[in-house]
């Protein structure tokens, strides 16, 4: 549960083996992951979800060194 609401959650495994979670909240979509002891949240407005898919957010996560 995030912010007291139920939201669909998907889990992805990044190239380095870390888990990332994709949360489809009412107005926003988030990909949350940790890399080198840093925590990242990539977020988009739900209107962009058809163009910026979870796969695109995972690719962005891959690009962070």
So what's the pLDDT on residue 6?
63
So what's the pLDDT on residue 29?
96
Check if the beta carbon of residue 62 is closer than 8 Å to that of residue 14.
yes
How many angstroms from the chain centroid is the CA of residue 25?
A: 11
* Closest C-alpha to 48, from 31, 63, 65, 34: 31
So what's the pLDDT on residue 5?
56
Check if the beta carbon of residue 41 is closer than 8 Å to that of residue 32.
yes
Q: What is the C-alpha separation between 14 and 25, in angstroms, rounded?
A: 21
Residue with tokens 């609401």: 5
So what's the pLDDT on residue 1?
45
Secondary element (H or E) of residue 42: strand 38-45
Mean pLDDT over residues 8-22, rounded?
94
What would the pLDDT profile of 21-57 be if each residue is shown by its tens digit? 999 988 999 999 999 999 999 999 999 999 999 999 9
């Amino acid at each position: 549960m995030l912010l007291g609401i139920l939201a669909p959650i998907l889990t992805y495994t990044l190239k380095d083996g870390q888990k990332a979670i994709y949360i489809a909240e009412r107005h926003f979509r988030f990909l949350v992951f940790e890399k080198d002891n840093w925590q990242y949240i990539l977020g988009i407005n739900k209107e962009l979800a058809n163009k910026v898919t979870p796969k695109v957010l995972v690719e962005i996560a891959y690009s962070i060194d």
